[in-house]
Each structure stands twice: as C-alpha cells, then as structure tokens.
Structure 1
Amino acid sequence: MPESIADIAAAEDPVAAVLDAHDRGGLIALRTSGTTSRPRVVVRTTASWVDSFAHVSALAGIGASSRVCVPGPLSATMNLFAAVHARYEALPLVADPEQATHLHVTPAVLLALLRGGTDLRGCTVVVAGDRLQPALAAQARAGGARIAHYYGAAELSFVAWGGDEDDLRPFPDVTVDIRDGRVWARSPFLSRGYAGGAEGPFTVAADGFATVGDRGRLDEGVLTVTGRGAEAVVTGGATVLVDDVEEALRRVTGSEVVVVGVPHPRFGAVVAAVLAEPAALPVAQRASRSGLSAAQRPRLWFRLPCFPMTDAGKVDRAAVAELVASGRLAPVAATPEASTSPEDTPR
C-alpha cells in the first residue's frame, strides 16, 4: 500500500487511522465485505465520508447528547463509518444497545435483537448493509424504536435514505438515475475506485455518475433496489436471477428468503428457496405459482429457523447454499396447490 494511502484494515485503531488520515489530508483504503464477489480494496478521500456527517446527523437525529452503539465489526465499512462519525462528533460509543440513543445494525442483527427481547424503546436504529423489509421495520417500531434505513455501497457511500426498502429517496447532495435497469449515482461521496487498478463492478461514466451494477427502479422519487443480479441459476437452459425470485417471494411473505441452485442430473440445476418463518412457506409456495415464471418457480423448498450470518452481520448466502447442497436440510413438502416436481422444470 503506498504511503499516501492509509491501509485502515492494518491499523490497530481503525477509527483513529481514518481521523489521522483526515487530519493529514490523505487517502484511505477500505476492504469491501465480498458478499457478492471477492473482497476488493476501495480507495477514497476522508472528505467523502466527513462531508456527509452533517446530513447523517440531521436525518438520524444525532446530537450532542447522543450515545452510539455499533455492535458489528469495524471491518465492515458501514460500522466503521458509524464509529468514525461518532468519534468525530465526540459522542460516546456504548457496548449495550439498550444504553444507546442510536444503534447501527444490519437487518439480520436487528431481527436477532428483537427476537432476543432487547429493549429498543426510544432508540433510533439505523439499518443498512442489506434491504430492510417493511415488516421488520414495523416490528421494530411497534416495540418503540425509531427506524432509519439507507442504501449505499463501499464504492458509492450513501445513495438513498428512508424508513425501509420501500421508502428510499436520494440522499442529500446525491443525484440518482436508472440506466438500463441499473442504479447510477452522482455525488461528492463517491470513492476513487479500487487500489492497484483492480477490476470490479464500480464504473464511472463520463458525466460523473457511478454504479456498482445494482438493479433498481426510480418511481416518483422513490428508489427501489432489486439487487445486484450477479448470481443466477441456469435451469433447463433458462437463466434465473436469484434476486428476482427473492424479491417476489419476500414481498408476499414479508420475511427473509434465500434462493439457491441445487444440482440436478437432467436440468443442470433447479431453483430452491430457503425461508426462516414457518408461516411464510405456504404463502411463498402459493404465490410462486401465480407470480413467477415456470423457470423462476422454486422446485425445492427448505426451512432454516436461523440463517447463518457473516462477520459483517449479513445473511451468509454461501453458507446457506452449502447447507442445502450437503443435504443437511431436508426439503419441506409443498402445499397441494403449489406442488411441483423438479421434472416439471421447462426446457
């Protein structure tokens, strides 16, 4: 790593390393989580973070008396950003979510806290790192929490902010555009790209708009992000994007769904859906008959009461796929009206 770029992951105190680089006017190098691809090193100015602090404070209601909790690892950029923001504003970081006025978590961690009975009354929970379903946001609000949600990427920083995945509007000073079904953003918060000129999904157009390839749509100022679209199942010659199937099933069930491919001797693979909530299974199975194409329709269904998570607090899709492929999860029978066989997969 060149001396002019601070390798934050190598620092004993990553938060101090970011602030030190800011004082020196240097660049910082941050590693992506590698959720949808191999990890990369993203280079950015510290100003591309610091200049957004005032907006985040205003949107989340963070003030001089706030107490911030960031329970996730600082190797995740969303957590590091929150911790740097707190220290920059001289706000105390607390370890106990119940002692915090502001909590930064992923949707999976929020669900685990709610299931564990954590008292979040009066706390503003800022949720990022994955799409926040309206049902989960409503559950947290019913328990007395205030909920904020944002969409972004390590390469883009903030893109949109709202109350859940259906209520995202462009972040202040950010312009969002949809081009060929992909989300593009132009803002002062963009990164410089990847260290060493490495290839990756981050692309910058001549007009300053950038994308990481996430798909979405913009309707009357509301941004809906439908996924990266990089993962697919090829079944019977048809290519099925797992994001499309997951979004359709998540919207009818209001619960988490992970879609994977299961090897099949005739069709190469078949689409399989893994859900956590027992009540969501029959709903998803019935909806798949009317809301999905024949190729998209899951032929195998599984229930996993608790999804494994990565160190960054996101659902570990690779681990779920491995559980299915290894046979450690037994398929769940489909409801009669949703019953299909892998042999029904279209060619």
Structure 2
Amino acid sequence: MTPPVDVLAAGDPVAAVLAAHRDGRRIAVRTSGTTSRPRAVVRSTASWWDSFPAVTELSGVDAGARLWLPGPLHSSMNLFAAVHAHVVGAHLVADPAAATHGCLTPAALAAVLADGTPVRGLRLVVAGDRLPRALADRAVAAGARVEHYYGAAELSFLAWGSADDDLRPFPDVRLQVRDGVVWARSPYLSEGYVEDPGHPDDGAAVPGGAGAPFAVDRGGWATVGDRGVLTDEGHLAVVGRGDLAVLTGGATVLVADVEAVLRAAGAGDSVVVGLPHPRLGQLVAAVGTDAAALAAARATGLPELSTAQRPRRWFHLDRWPVTATGKVDRSAVATSAAEGRLTRLTGAVR
C-alpha cells in the first residue's frame, strides 16, 4: 500500500495537502498529544473536502474572506482551516486588523482578550479545546462573533455551536453517549494511526492499538474516549478526555469529572492536575485564571464531589501556559504548582 503523505514534513504543508488531493493520495497529520503521545493520523483528503460546504456555511469563511490564523500549521485544526481557506478562495492574513475572520484556540482567545488585541467585527472560530461560555461572552462583549466546534484529529468535526454549552451535531454526523463516552458515526472519520507515515511498511492505518484512544466498533461508530452528555435538547456537553486521571490515596480521580463540577459551581476557566505527595502519591489540585470565581466555588465545599475527588490545593495564575498547538499545557501547570510558582488560595475549606 502506498504510504500516506506526511504533510507536516513538507516545507509547505498546505501545498502538500493540495498535491495529495490532486494525486489521490492519503495524508498523515499529527494529534496534539494533549493527553497521550502524539500519533500520526491517516485520512483521505476526501474526508476533509466533503466537509468544506458545511464549514463554509457555518463559519462564513468563503470567497473573499480574510482569515487570521495565528496558530502553527502543525496543528491539524489550523492546517484544515488553511486548506479550506485556499479551496474556497479566502485569503490568509497575519494582522487581525486586516481580517474578517479568525481561527484560534480558547487559550489563544483568552490571551488575545487579555492583551487588548482588537477583535471588533471579527467572526472567530474557536476550537481545539473546550470554550467556556464566560470566555465566549467576553469575546462577544469585545465586538466579535464567536463560533465554536468540537472534534478530534481522528474524528474531524463532531459538533458546532457558539460555546461549550450549545453544541449540536455537525451536519451528517450522528452522536451517541455510551456509559459516559462520546461515540460518532460520520463520513469524516480518519482511517487510524501509523507509526511512521513516511515508511513504506507503514502504509496501512489501524484504528487504536496499545494505549491509543481511537476505536471503531462493528457498526462503524468511533470514539477517542472523550466523556460527555447528550441533553434532552440535543446539545452535546463534552466533559473531557476520560483517561486523564490523578491517583490519590489509592483512588483514581478522573479530572474531567472534577472539572465539570467546578464549572457548574462557577469556578471560571479552570483545570485539575495532580501534585506529588509523599504519602498519598498525588493530591488533587484546582488551578484557575479567575481568582474570585475559583475562591467562590471553593467556598461552596463542592458537595457533589467525593472525598478523594475534592481538590486539596487551589491555585491562581494570570495566563495559561500553552502547548505548541495552542492548548492549555497541563503538564506545565502542574509543574508550576508543584514548584510553588503559582499563587495559592489559602484559608479553610468547608
């Protein structure tokens, strides 16, 4: 089997994708590695091209649009956006002041708003991580129109909305939640992983593998292990990746479960990490960018959480450290907290 084109190894990844499409070859892109090691994901170019009409309709990025894309092209989210822009006749611009549209991660959006970068009149597509309603509202208050989608490198688009609380299935995608895990049937799925996309022996992709999150059942439904809930109104609420956990005192605490309770308690933009502890192994710690909201959530006592789940340390930081693909760098957050480089919220916990 002909190996896929490793588009990120090319000097111009966009041109490499376009050439692969013309030649009828598959492409390999990388996962972000947020919760596991990065993997090469193989897909047909048709699995992207077939979604272009819906993306154009939902995002407004069409012929004549000027797209500001501040993130790196080695992120599959950004590479897709750049390829889509080229195909529909939109133009990439480096200056947000010259743009009609933007595509960025929630962490990047938070940084843009904190820096005072003008976003008035921009239509922003925010993806790559969960977009809290409060952050979306801040962007709207600054004059932007905000779109948000949920997906994965392995699955492509799954749901679209204006923030994380009103996501609906992407066109032609069916969603299920089984035992708390999000599954999808979609024409936009990848074929799976290869270890080395440039090696002739690795031409065949496989879904999953040892420790890999991507799985496909016999009915063609696929998942990457994200946890979520489908509401009675048809909205998908994504909680987080189900394999990210803190091991404390012999208990396994899924950070997604704790973060969901924190959000419901009004903690603002926050993440949960594990801190080293000599007796318990790790302590559950909550870190947020809004000190007042985090303290207010802490003061409730979070009765929905078990003893093991309840955060024992609370920290504030002004801005999230981010990975090369623009997502919150949980490892850096945990290291900063462990090394005492974050502001700790003190006082008794109810």
> TM-score if structure 1 supplies the norm length?
0.93
CA distance in structure 2 between the aligned counterparts of 1:289 and 1:181, rounded to whole angstroms: 21
Asked if structure 2 preserves the Cα contact closer than 8 Å seen for 1:275 and 1:304, the reply is: yes
Residue 205 in structure 1 maps to residue 205 in structure 2: no
- Pick the aligned partner of 2:282 from 256, 269, 273: 269
1:90 matched residue in structure 2: 89
Shift of 1:250: 2.5
Unaligned runs of 5+ in 1: 340-347
Residue 228 in structure 1 maps to residue 241 in structure 2: yes
Alignment coverage as a number of residue pairs: 336
2:62 matched residue in structure 1: 63
Residue 259 in structure 1 maps to residue 288 in structure 2: no
Query: Which region of structure 1 is more displaced relative to structure 2, 272-281 or 187-196?
Result: 272-281
Query: Which region of structure 1 is more displaced relative to structure 2, 74-83 or 271-280?
Result: 271-280
Asked if structure 2 preserves the Cα contact closer than 8 Å seen for 1:249 and 1:288, the reply is: no
- Secondary structure at the residue paired with 2:344? coil
Look up the equivalent residue of 1:171 and give its one-letter code.
Answer: F
Q: Per-residue displacement from partner, 1:217-255 (whole Å, max 9, x unpaired)?
A: 111311111111212122222221111111211332352
Residue 27 in structure 1 maps to residue 33 in structure 2: no
Asked if structure 1 preserves the Cα contact closer than 8 Å seen for 2:295 and 2:345, the reply is: no
Asked if structure 2 preserves the Cα contact closer than 8 Å seen for 1:134 and 1:254, the reply is: no
CA distance in structure 2 between the aligned counterparts of 1:251 and 1:132, rounded to whole angstroms: 14
2:144 matched residue in structure 1: 145
- Secondary structure at the residue paired with 2:175? strand
2:199 matched residue in structure 1: none
Q: What is the root-mean-square deviation of aligned Cα atoms in Å?
A: 1.5
CA distance in structure 1 between the aligned counterparts of 2:288 and 2:151, rounded to whole angstroms: 25
- Secondary structure at the residue paired with 1:282? helix
CA distance in structure 2 between the aligned counterparts of 1:11 and 1:267, rounded to whole angstroms: 47
CA 1:269–1:126 in 2, change beyond 3 Å: closer, same or farther?
same
Look up the equivalent residue of 2:116 and give its one-letter code.
Answer: G
Residue 53 in structure 1 maps to residue 65 in structure 2: no
Shift of 1:4: 4.0
1:289 matched residue in structure 2: 302
Asked if structure 2 preserves the Cα contact closer than 8 Å seen for 1:261 and 1:272, the reply is: yes
2:322 matched residue in structure 1: 309
Query: Which region of structure 1 is more displaced relative to structure 2, 164-173 or 325-334?
Result: 325-334
Q: Per-residue displacement from partner, 1:127-165 (whole Å, max 9, x unpaired)?
A: 000000001111111111111000000000000000110
2:112 matched residue in structure 1: 113
- Secondary structure at the residue paired with 2:274? strand
1:72 matched residue in structure 2: 71
Shift of 1:278: 1.9
CA distance in structure 2 between the aligned counterparts of 1:289 and 1:91, rounded to whole angstroms: 47
CA distance in structure 1 between the aligned counterparts of 2:344 and 2:118, rounded to whole angstroms: 36
Query: Which region of structure 1 is more displaced relative to structure 2, 301-310 or 30-39?
Result: 301-310
Look up the equivalent residue of 1:263 and give its one-letter code.
Answer: P
1:155 matched residue in structure 2: 154
Higher RCO, Cα 8 Å, sep 6+: 2
Look up the equivalent residue of 2:227 and give its one-letter code.
Answer: R
Look up the equivalent residue of 2:230 and give its one-letter code.
Answer: L
Unaligned runs of 5+ in 2: 195-201
Asked if structure 1 preserves the Cα contact closer than 8 Å seen for 2:25 and 2:44, the reply is: yes
Q: Per-residue displacement from partner, 1:78-126 (whole Å, max 9, x unpaired)?
A: 0000000001112110001222111000001111111111221221100
CA distance in structure 2 between the aligned counterparts of 1:293 and 1:142, rounded to whole angstroms: 37
Shift of 1:328: 3.0
1:102 matched residue in structure 2: 101
Asked if structure 2 preserves the Cα contact closer than 8 Å seen for 1:132 and 1:164, the reply is: yes
2:180 matched residue in structure 1: 181
CA distance in structure 1 between the aligned counterparts of 2:327 and 2:266, rounded to whole angstroms: 20
Shift of 1:332: 2.3
CA distance in structure 1 between the aligned counterparts of 2:131 and 2:213, rounded to whole angstroms: 23
Identity across aligned pairs (percent)?
58
Shift of 1:43: 0.2
Residue 125 in structure 1 maps to residue 124 in structure 2: yes
Asked if structure 1 preserves the Cα contact closer than 8 Å seen for 2:43 and 2:191, the reply is: yes
1:343 matched residue in structure 2: none
Asked if structure 1 preserves the Cα contact closer than 8 Å seen for 2:62 and 2:89, the reply is: no
Shift of 1:291: 3.3
CA distance in structure 2 between the aligned counterparts of 1:254 and 1:59, rounded to whole angstroms: 30
Asked if structure 1 preserves the Cα contact closer than 8 Å seen for 2:150 and 2:160, the reply is: yes
CA distance in structure 2 between the aligned counterparts of 1:163 and 1:124, rounded to whole angstroms: 11
Asked if structure 2 preserves the Cα contact closer than 8 Å seen for 1:151 and 1:161, the reply is: yes
Shift of 1:184: 0.6
- Secondary structure at the residue paired with 1:240? strand
Asked if structure 1 preserves the Cα contact closer than 8 Å seen for 2:67 and 2:91, the reply is: yes
CA distance in structure 2 between the aligned counterparts of 1:201 and 1:122, rounded to whole angstroms: 39
